[in-house]
Amino acid sequence: MILNNTLKPFAALSFVTLLAAFLHISGVLDTERSLYGGTNDAIIDSFLVGDVTGTFVEEDGHSIMTCELGNIQTFHLCGIALQLAEQDKTSGINVSTYETIELELNYKAPVDNAKIKVTLRNHHENYSTLSDPTSQKFNTVSFDTSKFTGPIIVPLDAFQVENWWIDQYQVDFKDSLMDISNVVHLEFITHGMPVAGEYEISLKSVTLRGVIISEYNLFKAIFGLWIVVGLIMLLRQHYQLREISKKDALTGLYNNLGIHQEIQSIPSTNTVYMFHICLNELKEINDIYGHDIGDNTLIHSSNIIKDKISRFAEKSYLCRFSGDEFVIVFDNLAEEEVQSLAHSMVSGGQYAIPIPLHNIFISMSLGVAKTQDIVNKFDTLIAHSSAAMHHAKNNQLPSFQEFDETFSQNIYFEKLVSQFIKEALFKGEFHLNYMPIYDTKLLKASAFEVLLRTTSENMKGIGPDVFIPVAEKFNLIKEIDTWVIENTFKNIEKNYSFLKENPVKFCINISSEQLKNPPFVKQLKGLLTEYCIPPEWIELELTETSLVKTEQESIDILHGIRALGVDLSLDDYGTGYISFNQLVNYPVNNLKIDKSFVDLLETDDDQAAMIIQAIQSLATSYKLTTVAEGVETPKQYDYLSKLGCDFIQGYVFSKPLPWPLAKERIISPATETERLKNRLAQ
Ligand code: C2E
Ligand code: CA
Ligand code: CA
């Protein structure tokens, strides 16, 4: 585009240059003015001075002046003169606009090499008076006409002011230079008459020739034009590049740099709101339909946003901030307007993207933040609006999130917790608890869910339900998962012979982050080998929600885990949206029915029972076992037992326990069964 715009003027310039050269060479730019001869009947006079007699005749288109010099001792001359002046005798012809004077002229004298003088008589008020005709400047050239055949072409710059004239009129140096800008006479005068005899001047034509513009001036002008156009283009290109560097190539909106520059003019007293928008589904659209459709979606989405804020076009700056994020800065917008605009952006849910043959919808997550003195607080505003947007996105808020005081405290809290996690990992302030999982019918502990605990003073009252999501957010979860797996294995290793006698499974929670971490399988295998752990003793729990958006790579990781002989369990089953026939894609062994369904069993809501029944029959048909979590009462146990749940986990039988206590749950199965029966009888 820029190149095209640059090439056009240069192509035009090249054309003009070639055209000028052509016109110059072909003579189209030539000019001429006939002063005498042909149809020009200019007034011509003759004159004689001294002891000279003469005759002047016009015949065959020639003016012939014949002079006879008698006495050479007297001052003498003989000549003819063309009158070039107007009536007033002072307004002549500007000969200087021509380059040459072409003469058909012949001079005969009674001596060899006789020269004739051709004089352009210039009138100028500095030195000329009408009363003294000699005061008109003598610009003269002299030559021997016999040396020429055909017309004589005399360059005008060959003329020079006669010295005697300079001496006689004592003119300043500037008036002593050749001047042919107002020539009133053109004279042909004998140049000295050294011997007595007949002299003859024969004139046929006088023509001035020139060009509209001289070659030198023409190319000087074109060179100047090239320089000027070049400079203009350079400046324009510089400006365009500066503009382009501020814009996003795909959407034409400002980019980061652009918006940063644009907001510089906002006064620090103005209240500024920032909207941070994320297109929730763009990544999936790119993955499923490819980047062309993704790009198209982005363009349509940017138009939707533009449309939404069109009322405030003059008060807003819209920017494509990153791949799927947009940022809008609103300058001095009323709070009610901000609220209703933000609401209208997200409350509609999904926007249909009009791409033919594709059924594409996009929804937006929106974070809003406000500040004054945006020039100095731009980065903070970006951080605040971005945190609010991520919160809205991660929590799938139906509306937008504002970065207000409460929210800022949340973030502060999370940052603090992440700091505490790092410290606890460093200081070894984590340990594990084991929560027994019982066979529903046998009332016998057959597995333990491994649950993380901390002794960190800073984290008193902060359980894994709070710090695990923070660890996920702050990229600490992989380290935690590895720590849990390794420490579970260490415990198994220590109790190997006991566990061989009393086999149970250890169910370890792992984060969905591991599904994006292919080296995890290798790492797990390494740890199993290092601690000599029979893989059938291990089950990994993954939340169902983490599997909803699973890609092939993640499924491969699941298969990799299964290939090691380790079992897989779907945690919090029923809270995600894995459709029944989707389940076949996941190589899991067990479904953990979420506590929220168990909680409803004792209420009037009989939907929970129906859901559990459905999960149960699904599990049966896929040959999966089921664990009901969060069972707190004997009544819930009864329900679940009747619904066919294979395993029960909950406070009704046991809370999570340190290993020595947990060990007791399996050390004597008969006593334990007895304890549970009593518990159920209460
Ligand atoms: P989860 O995997 O669903 O774990 C079950 C949670 O429910 C545990 O809470 C457990 O103590 C609690 N629970 C079990 N039965 C009952 C009951 O009858 N009543 C009540 N009120 N609660 C019950 P906890 O230990 O606080 O763990 C919370 C969540 O933290 C876990 O949910 C799991 O998602 C995560 N988590 C815990 N430990 C780890 C770990 O080592 N690694 C990872 N990645 N996540 C962990
Ligand atoms: Ca779990
Ligand atoms: Ca669970």
From the CA of 300, how far away is ligand 3's center (Å)? 40
Amino acid found at 476: L
Q: pLDDT band at residue 347, thresholds of 50, 70 and 90?
A: confident
From the CA of 552, how far away is ligand 3's center (Å)? 24
Tell me: the pLDDT tens digits for 157-203?
999 999 999 999 988 888 999 999 999 999 999 977 888 899 999 99
From the CA of 527, how far away is ligand 3's center (Å)? 25
From the CA of 450, how far away is ligand 2's center (Å)? 8
pLDDT of residue 405: 77
Answer yes or no: is pLDDT of 128 > 90. Answer: yes
Neighbours of 612 (CB within 10 A): 24
Neighbours of 74 (CB within 10 A): 11
What would the mean pLDDT of 284-307 be, rounded to a whole number? 93
Q: What is the mean pLDDT of the chain?
A: 91
Which numbered atom of ligand 1 lies nearest the CA of 477? Answer: 44
From the CA of 348, how far away is ligand 1's center (Å)? 36
Q: Which residues line ligand 1 (CB under 6 A)?
A: 435, 450-452, 463-465, 468, 481, 484, 509-511, 541, 571-572, 629-632, 649-651, 656
Question: What is 140-173 written as a DSSP string?
Answer: EEEE-GGG--SSEEEEGGG-EE-HHHHHHHT--G
Residue to probe by mutation, ligand 1, list 465, 470, 541, most atoms within 8 Å of CB: 465
pLDDT of residue 331: 94
Q: pLDDT band at residue 549, thresholds of 50, 70 and 90?
A: low
The ligand minimizing its distance to the Cα of 437 is 1
Amino acid found at 272: V
Amino acid found at 644: G
Tell me: the pLDDT tens digits for 213-251?
878 888 899 999 999 999 998 998 888 888 889 999 999
H, E, C per residue of 32-85 = EEEEEECCECCCEEEEEECCEEEEEEEECCEEEEEEEECCCCCCCEEEEEEECC
Residue to probe by mutation, ligand 1, list 448, 450, 451, most atoms within 8 Å of CB: 451
pLDDT of residue 304: 94
The ligand minimizing its distance to the Cα of 488 is 1
Half-sphere exposure (CA, 13 Å, Cβ side) for 251?
26
Report the C-alpha gap between 445 and 443 in whole angstroms. Answer: 7
Of residues 427 and 553, more confidently modeled: 427
Answer yes or no: is pLDDT of 558 > 80. Answer: yes
pLDDT of residue 10: 84
Which numbered atom of ligand 1 lies nearest the CA of 594? Answer: 3
Report the C-alpha gap between 207 and 205 in whole angstroms. Answer: 7
Helix, strand, or coil (residue 113): coil
8-state DSSP, 657: B
Which numbered atom of ligand 1 lies nearest the CA of 471? Answer: 44
Helix, strand, or coil (residue 579): coil
Least confident window among 90-104, 454-468, 495-509: 454-468
pLDDT of residue 579: 64
pTM for the model stands at 0.51
Nearest to residue 34, comparing CAs of 210, 207, 211? 207
Tell me: the pLDDT tens digits for 387-440?
789 888 878 888 899 988 788 778 877 887 898 999 999 999 999 999 999 999
From the CA of 508, how far away is ligand 1's center (Å)? 11
Tell whether the torsion through CA atoms of 14, 17, 18 and 19 is positive or negative.
positive
Strand partners, 140: 119, 160
Nearest CA to ligand 1 atom 7: 630
Question: What is 187-201 written as a DSSP string?
Answer: EEEES---SSEEEEE
From the CA of 568, how far away is ligand 2's center (Å)? 11
From the CA of 188, how far away is ligand 3's center (Å)? 122
Helix, strand, or coil (residue 631): coil
The ligand minimizing its distance to the Cα of 476 is 1
Tell me: the pLDDT tens digits for 109-123?
999 889 999 999 999
Under 8 Å CB-to-CB from 292, ≥6 apart: which residues?
none
What would the mean pLDDT of 443-460 be, rounded to a whole number? 92
Which numbered atom of ligand 1 lies nearest the CA of 433? Answer: 25
Do the bridges between strand 100-108 and strand 430-439 make them parallel or antiparallel, or are there none, so unpaired? unpaired
